[in-house]
Every structure is written in structure tokens, then in C-alpha cells.
Amino acid sequence: MFLKGVSLECLIGMVRTDFTQLRNGSDLLKRGFARMQQGGVIMDVVNPDQAAIAEDAGAVAVMALERVPADIRRDGGVARMSHPDMIQGILDCTSIPVMAKARIGHEGEARVLESMGVDMVDESEVLTPADPYFHINKNAYSIPFVCGATGLGEAVRRIHEGASMIRTKGEAGTGNLVAAVTHARRIDQEIRQIQSLDDDGIQKVTNMIVQRYNVLADASEMPGLHPMTPFGAIDDDMRNGIQSILLEVKEMGRLPVVTFSAGGIATPADASHMMRMGMDGIFVGSGIFKSTDPKTMADAIVLATAHFDNAEKVTEAMAMMLGKPMKGDELETLEIRYDQRGQ
């Protein structure tokens, strides 16, 4: 289970949000677990040998999946949750937390992962979305979720739905940092704009964010009203929930959950750059295991992440690379943009 022997008192101390502001008690524990990963690197791994490389390098967690995103892009087809035997093999061989991916909106996959005892679920746009309208109701689960976002509105919706961690979507498997930078800058810009608003302005933004939940009704050609979502009715309670998150954002000057960077990180300098932009940690997979020397690259990215503001340490990390980083792709050449999935 995701607690892994950590005391309730320890978890409470790691969560900034006041208990009374959380929508249910388990949110406190789930956000606390996510905060424990702060400042670290989470690595995609496809087998026990890669999990050992990640753990030895000092990764705070691993993401168990059958193919790193670069191979998912290359192979095409429908990308689904990894086979339970593969995930169990990773769970059995490592002492650090293990995460796994479920398709956007796929409650069935998420339930399987929860029953297996993974520590966190990534509702991931890297896999083929299962629901074109809604994400998973993450509040209904006992384990924490991480979700991607390209802007503040998307991030707030995912937090309202129960996400305990947000990550930039980036463009996974490309070795190209530009999308992750774009999303980090956009979220930060929109947070600063929220801080400039009065109560009327916050209410206007609340209505803008809630409007996205009408996506299914808007797609219907039938008359009549049925303002329901997997997260409850589109009503004043939902608006109040969204507004309370926005007020937290305004007060804190950041998202009320930990925010990691993901998608396109391929060098230690990339990791340092995203941390200097205010990210709480780094997801990386293809950038390590598609390099010519994965073990050294893993060590180097962990070093650069831990010492992101120390130019000498980042230089040391860059100098550790004996081989070449992954080749990478220009975004204009991509047939599928993952970051446009699941708004």
C-alpha cells in the first residue's frame, strides 16, 4: 500500500492544505504521499533490471510500464495498461514506491491497479484515452493519482476530481523539452493572473473552468437538460469546490498539490532547467533508457535534479554522460500530440 510505514503525523506535516479544506479525509494521506516525492526523480521502467538502475541512482519512485513512451509512439496502435504480471514483477523487486499508468477515463484499469497495491496511478495521456468526455473520479479511490495538465484550468479540474499530483504533459517520448516548458510557463502565468483578480474575477474564472464539464451535453443533439458528470452534478457545490481550489491557488501562489515536470526531459540540464522553473520534481523515462548509457544517465539526472540551482553540480552531471542522449523529435513532425488528449 502507498503508506509504506509512514506515520500519519509525518504525512500531515507534509501537506500544506488545511484538513478542513479537503473534500474527504483520505485526501490528506494521498496528498501527503505525493509530497514525499518532492525534489526527486520518478523514472519509467519496463523490467526489474531498469528498476534496479532507477533505485540505485536514487529515484524516489518508478513508473512500471511495458514500453517507454518513445516505443509507444514508434509502435502505434492502442496503448493500454501494462500487464499485471509485468507490474507485479516491478512491485516484487524494488523497495521504492511503484506507480503505473491507466488510460484517461478507464475506471476498470484503475481498479485493477489499486487492487494490485501500486502506490500511485498515473491517469496518462501517453496511453490511448478510453473516455473522450471525462477523466476518472479519483476521489473514489484510496490510492493517489497523478494527472497531466497544460494550463491552470485543466490542473484545477484534475485536482477537483481528486488528483494528488499534477505534472506538465509535455510530449513524452520525444526528448524535446519545449512542450513541458510551454505548459509550465502557462500554468505559472495563469496563477499570477489569478492573484490579480478580485472576488468577481475569481467567480468568472470558476464559471469558465466548470463550463468544460458540459462537454458531453454540448455534444448531444437532443433537447433537455442532464447536468451530470462522474464527479457529481454541475451545480453550486461543484462551483464552490472549483472556487475553493482557485482561492488556494491565489493565496499560495502555486498549485495546492505537488507539481512535477514530465515529457521530453533527455539530459541533466533539462532536469535542472525544469526545477529552476519551479517544478517540484521530474518524471523521465525515454530520456534515460533510450540513451546509450542508461545507468550513467540515471545517475546524472538525479544529481542535476537534486542540485538544480548549483551550476557546478549540473556541469558535473552533464560531464558524466559518456554516450549520447536520445535523438529526439521536433514537435512539428509528430503524428499524434499527446498533450492535446484529455483536456
Let me know how long the chain is.
Answer: 343
Q: What is the pLDDT of residues 253-301, one digit of tens each?
A: 999 999 999 888 989 999 999 999 999 999 998 778 888 899 999 999 9
Give this prediction's pTM.
0.87
Which band of pLDDT confidence, cut at 50, 70 and 90, is reported for residue 2?
very low
Does the pLDDT value for residue 10 go beyond 90? no
Q: What is the pLDDT of residues 313-333, one digit of tens each?
A: 999 999 998 766 666 665 566
Residue 24: its pLDDT value, please? 39
Does the pLDDT value for residue 18 go beyond 70? no
Which band of pLDDT confidence, cut at 50, 70 and 90, is reported for residue 342?
low
Residue by residue, DSSP assigns 54-85 as HHHHT-SEEEE-SS-HHHHHHH-S---PPPHH
Instruction: Please report the beta strands in 197-306, taking only residues with DSSP state E, as ranges in sequence order.
Output: 228-229, 232-233, 258-261, 281-284
pLDDT (average), residues 79-95: 94
Residue 319: its pLDDT value, please? 94
Residue tagged active-site, from 4, 30, 101, 204? 101
Which band of pLDDT confidence, cut at 50, 70 and 90, is reported for residue 69?
low
Mean pLDDT taken over the chain: 87
Q: What is the percent of the chain where pLDDT is above 90?
A: 68
Which band of pLDDT confidence, cut at 50, 70 and 90, is reported for residue 79?
confident
- Domains identified in the chain and CATH numbers: 8-199+235-334 (3.20.20.70)
Separation between Cα atoms, residue 286 and residue 68, nearest integer Å: 6
CA dist 273 to 89, 92, 119, 203, 312, Å? Answer: 33, 34, 28, 34, 14
Q: What is the pLDDT of residues 176-222, one digit of tens each?
A: 888 899 999 999 999 999 999 999 999 999 999 999 999 998 888 89
Catalytic, 204? Answer no
Classify 103 as helix, strand or coil.
strand
Residue 264: its pLDDT value, please? 86
Does the pLDDT value for residue 49 go beyond 60? yes
Residue 305: its pLDDT value, please? 97
Classify 296 as helix, strand or coil.
helix
Separation between Cα atoms, residue 285 and residue 63, nearest integer Å: 8
